[in-house]
Amino acid sequence: MKRFQLVTTGCADVIVCWHCSEKTRIFGKQIEKLQDLIDNLLRMNTPEFTNELDLWREKVEKEINRLVPSSGTEPQTLHRAMRHSLEAGGKRIRPILVCAVARCFNENTAPLPAAVAIECLHTYTLIHDDLPAMDNSDLRRGRPTCHKEFGEAAAILAGDALLTLSFEILSSSYSNSPSLANFLIQDLAVASGSRWLVGGQMEDIENEGLALSTEKLSSINRKKTGALLAAACIMGARIGQANEAQLALVRQFGALLGESFQVIDDILDYTASAEQTGKSSGRDAANGKVTLASIEGIDSARNRATFLTQESLNTLSNIQGNTAFLESLVRWLEQRAS
C-alpha cells in the first residue's frame, strides 16, 4: 500500500511517495533540486544513522561518568558544578567526531578518552561564555547556566577545573603512547588557545556593535567555533594513525564543518525558541553581536551554510575509509533545529 505525504519546501509544495523499498518519486517544480533535498533528508534520518548517533552518545556519557570525578568528590560544590554543566546533555558533536573520524582509519586505539577530554574543554568554554561578563545567559542545554545555579565564583572555578581535566585525561589515558599523547595535547591546546578559540572569543567581544566585513566575520567564526571542531576531527585522525595527507584533508573538513556550524547557530539564535535550542535565544542581538544573519539576512546566511556544508562533504569524499556516518552527520547538522 502506498503512502503519500505533502512536503513544503522553500521552493514548492511537492508530493512524496513511498512504496516499501522503492526509490522516492517526486512530482513538482524543480525536480532535480528537490529530489536531492529529499534524498539527503531520508539518508540522514535512516534508522542506521540515528541508532549509531545514539550509540555514540551513550558511550560518551558512560566514559564521562568514568573519567570525571563524581559530584561527591571534595570539594563537592566544585564537582557538582562541573557535572551540572557536563551532564546537561547536548548534541556531543565534538566527541562523536573524534570517534567517527578515528574509525575511518583504524580502531586499534580507544578514541573515547580523547572524546571526553574535548567535551570537558568545550563545556568549560560554555560555562565561561554564559557568565555575566560574557554573554550573560540564563539557560544552557535546557537547564540553568552554571553561574545561575552555583554562583559566579563556582562557575569560573568549574570551568577552570574542566579545562585542566581535559589535559589530565589525555596525558593519563594515552601514557602508553607518549608520541600520540603529545600530539593530542598539542592539538587541543593550540585549538583552544589565544590564537584560535580564546582569541576568536576576544575578537567577538571587541567587535560587538561594529560593522564587520563577511571576511572578518568568517575569520572570527573559524577561530571561536571552527578550531575546536577541526581539532576533534584531527584528534580522531591521529588516534586512527592517519598519514599526513589524510590529516590535511581532515583538518580542512573540520574547519569547513566548524564554520558552517557557527553560521547555523547564529541563524537559530534568530529563528528558534529557547525550548528548541535549550539555551537563551536572541542573545546575539541583545549583546550587539555581529553575525552573518545580522549582516546579510537569514536567507543569505542559510545559503552560506549550505555552501560550507557542501564543501565539507566534497572534502570528506576524499578521506579514506567508510565515511557514510560522517556524511549523514554533516547533513544532519545542517538541518538541525537546535
- pLDDT single digits (tens) 172-206: 999 999 999 999 999 999 999 999 999 999 999 99
Q: Which residue has the cell 537559530?
A: 268
Q: In this structure, are 51 and 33 located in the same domain? A: no
Please return the burial class of 3, using the count of CB atoms within 10 Å of its CB with bins 0-12, 13-18 and 19+: exposed
For residue 232, give the C-alpha cell. 576533534
Cα distances from 18 to residues 26, 51, 80, in angstroms, run: 10, 22, 49
Q: In this structure, are 247 and 318 located in the same domain? A: yes
Q: Is the pLDDT of residue 8 over 90?
A: no
What pLDDT sits at residue 46?
A: 83
Q: What domain count does the chain have? A: 2
Q: In this structure, are 173 and 98 located in the same domain? A: yes
Q: In this structure, are 29 and 63 located in the same domain? A: no
Encode 99-109: b = buried (16+ Cβ within 10 Å), e = exposed. Answer: bbbbbbbeeeb
Q: In this structure, are 17 and 64 located in the same domain? A: no
Q: In this structure, are 2 and 15 located in the same domain? A: yes
What pLDDT sits at residue 276?
A: 55
Cα–Cα distance measured from residue 213 to residue 230, given in angstroms and rounded to the nearest whole number: 23
Cα–Cα distance measured from residue 54 to residue 123, given in angstroms and rounded to the nearest whole number: 20
Q: In this structure, are 187 and 326 located in the same domain? A: yes
What pLDDT sits at residue 274?
A: 59
Cα distances from 2 to residues 5, 22, 25, 26, in angstroms, run: 10, 10, 12, 14
What is the dihedral sign for C-alpha 79, 59, 280, 129? positive
Q: In this structure, are 24 and 102 located in the same domain? A: no
Q: Is the pLDDT of residue 273 over 80?
A: no
pTM of the model: 0.84
Q: In this structure, are 149 and 2 located in the same domain? A: no
DSSP 8-state symbol, 69: P
Q: In this structure, are 20 and 76 located in the same domain? A: no
Q: In this structure, are 86 and 169 located in the same domain? A: yes
Q: In this structure, are 26 and 108 located in the same domain? A: no
Average pLDDT, the chain: 86
Cα distances from 139 to residues 112, 145, 201, 249, 277, in angstroms, run: 28, 5, 19, 36, 10
Q: Which residue has the cell 603529545?
A: 182
Residue 13 binned pLDDT confidence (cut-offs 50, 70, 90): very low
What pLDDT sits at residue 208?
A: 87
Q: Which amino acid is at 209?
A: G
- Cβ neighbours of residue 54 closer than 8 Å, sequence gap 6 or more: none
pLDDT in tens, 45-60: 688 999 999 999 999 9
Residue 282 Ramachandran class (φ > 0 left, ψ -120 to 50 alpha, else beta) = left
Cα–Cα distance measured from residue 25 to residue 17, given in angstroms and rounded to the nearest whole number: 6
Q: Comparing 200 with 337, which gets the higher pLDDT?
A: 200
Cα–Cα distance measured from residue 161 to residue 46, given in angstroms and rounded to the nearest whole number: 39
CATH number of 314's domain: 1.10.600.10
What pLDDT sits at residue 278?
A: 55
Poorest-pLDDT segment among 154-168, 228-242, 267-281, 293-307: 267-281
Q: Containing domain of residue 301, as a range? A: 45-335
Residue 149 binned pLDDT confidence (cut-offs 50, 70, 90): very high
